[in-house]
Amino acid sequence: MKNILLFALLSWILAPVLKAQYPYVTQYSKNYFLVNPAAAGLDSSSQLVIWNRNNYSGSQRVAFSSLQMAYATPIQDNKAALALKLSYDASFYFRNVTSVSGAYVYNFPFTENTDVRVAMGIGIHRISDSVYTGTLAGNLVNYLPFYDFGMLFNLEHFVFGMSAFSANSPRSQDPLRSVYVNRVISVMAKYKYQYSDLILLMPSIFIRNDGYRGSISLEAKAEAELWNTFLLGVGYRFTRFGQLRVNPPYGYPVIRLPDYVTIEVGGYFSDLMYFVISYDAPVNTNVYGAPSLIEGTIGLGL
């Protein structure tokens, strides 16, 4: 009952304050329930995660700024879980997206060390576009419902998850009122290998198909937890057929998405609090406006 009341209180307090389409989360391995709602409540404890991503350098035309606050809590003696996510995404300087979503997760235990989790979530985007055409200036606002679906196979040493995000994108004769958000499908696999009592190795792979950008990306990452205190990781994100149409009605160029190398460090202050910081450096420096990105997370167990 306490967790349900906290869930409702967070919804009421934070919804008016925070303003993501569906930003790429480099820290998918540590914060998987930001990507897949089926991972909510996976550790059998309530969790609050604050995640932020900003471009570090590069053209202002492709500046990214994303903020997510997510809360998950197990219910019904860990047979199910609830998740709430509040997001703000500023992709370029002319578009802001505010999102609120919730999800219900049900856990199907197969054996003592094997779970299959299924989640279904719904939410709504508020998409605000700044428009400048001749002497006309203003904002176009669209409200866009969406749904999240997730499935997670959690074994003793292996985690495999699939998720799908979809929004009914309106298409009108006026290109200014078209919303370029439709679907994102992703797959993640992670293996946990206890090399010694003090070293846990976690290789993982994350594949994402983004219908909005028309891109397919694959990220391979190697992480290690040392002395149950420190987290180190390195990854490479390979993107193909990726492009961003920057304000296409007014003739801005189509921008290719670069490949990235990721360096990740983190630590645990206690069993209930951790932090992770990632730096993404573009490999294809010839790609127009390719920004470096910094991503940070603070996680709290409740």
Handedness of CA 253, 67, 190, 73 (dihedral sign): negative
Element of type H or E holding 221 = strand 215-226
Q: How many domains is the chain partitioned into structurally?
A: 1
Identify which of 142, 140, 160 has the alpha carbon closest to the alpha carbon of residue 150. 160
Q: Which domain holds residue 200?
A: 2-301
User: Which two three-digit tokens encode residue 298?
Assistant: 């603070």
Measured in whole angstroms, how far is the alpha carbon of residue 233 from the centre of its chain?
Answer: 18
- Side chain identity at residue 91, one-letter code: S
Could you list the pLDDT tens digit for every one of the 302 residues in the chain? 444 444 343 333 333 333 344 667 888 888 888 889 999 888 778 889 999 888 755 544 455 678 899 999 999 888 899 999 998 887 655 667 889 999 999 998 877 778 899 999 999 888 776 655 545 556 677 788 888 899 999 998 999 999 998 876 554 444 444 444 468 889 999 999 999 989 999 999 999 887 655 678 899 999 999 988 999 999 999 877 555 444 444 444 445 567 889 999 999 887 778 999 999 888 876 555 566 788 999 988 87
- Side chain identity at residue 153, one-letter code: F
Measured in whole angstroms, how far is the alpha carbon of residue 153 from the centre of its chain?
Answer: 19
CATH number of residue 181's parent domain: 2.40.160.40
CB 287 within 8 A of CB 258: yes
- Side chain identity at residue 32, one-letter code: Y
CB 106 within 8 A of CB 142: no
